[in-house]
Amino acid sequence: MNFLLDEVARATLRLADAGVPSPRTDAEELAAFVHGVRRGELHEVADSDFDALYWECVARRAAREPLQHITGRAYFRYLELSVGPGVFVPRPETENVVGWAIDTLRAMDVADPLVADLGAGSGAIAISIAQEVPRSRVHAVEFDPGALAWAKRNIDASAHADRITVHQADMRSALAELEGRLDLVISNPPYVPTADSALIPPEVRNHDPGPALWAGADGLDAVRELEAVGRRLLRPGGAMAIEHGDGQGIDIPRLFPEGQGWRDVRNRKDLAHRDRFVVMRRAED
């Protein structure tokens, strides 16, 4: 057996013993990162090229430091993003939310769609929409200075920075100059109930920034605020998508009543067939 692959097998066992949810994948990703190859190319690394740094990285992952903090990169749809301490690591589940938003924008009879990404974090959502809806103009709103630095870094490095405007602002008052004009608002807000801190993985609890996680006793404080924000920013017929946690899909639709001008409020599922995000539209005039 190739020496590196033998080391990967050993690392897999170590990560599994540490409770890492995807030990084989993470062991391979770390090996690929350390040796500067893709996962599928690990068999090409010669025994003489083995780098002992690999075991330092494995030890960090076994201590439940996020894989993405160790490698400094996260993958999201068609993007490779820079991430690290101070920013929420984008999750695969959010790709479904963005896919719905992109399909919705493409179906609109709007030449240059105007979009807001509220709580932009790493910039994953804003960049994906700018990339996949070529004439869109995206406003990325982020209040936390640490996360904002990562968003700017990724947006500045993208080929679509000219159509993304970054704002350091509280979403509750942001974009006053665009009130009633936005075609789409999208947000992956904090939605973890404060009482659930002991239940979430240490990679999340100990490393993702608190402002991106905690949202009151039921986890819906930020969603309640988004109702007023969406009502303020969206044009008649505009759409909104909000990601949420497991079990919250039952409670969120009632927060967007018809009496407040909301229509077509629906829960959408992720690839595991769990309610993952809620979508709605502003009533037409």
Comparing CA positions, the residue from 131, 127, 153, 150 lying closest to residue 139 is 127
Cβ distance 71 to 33 under 8 Å? Answer: yes
Q: Which residues are annotated as a binding site for substrate?
A: 188-191
Radius of gyration of the chain (CA): 20
Q: Which residues are annotated as a binding site for S-adenosyl-L-methionine?
A: 119-123, 142, 188
DSSP H helical ranges for the chain: 3-17, 23-35, 53-62, 67-71, 92-107, 124-132, 145-157, 202-205, 221-233
Strands 114-118 and 137-142: parallel
Q: Which residues are annotated as a binding site?
A: 119-123, 142, 188-191
Comparing CA positions, the residue from 166, 143, 163, 141 lying closest to residue 153 is 166
b/e map of 179-206 (b: 16 or more CB within 10 Å)? eeebbbbbbbbbbbbeeeeeeeeebbbe
Tokens of 41: 């190319």
Tokens of 49: 């090229």
Residue with tokens 């500067």, as numbered in its chain: 36
> What is the end-to-end Cα distance of the chain in Å, rounded?
68
Report residue 98 CA to chain centroid gap: 9
User: Beta-carbon neighbour count of residue 50 at 10 Å?
Assistant: 18
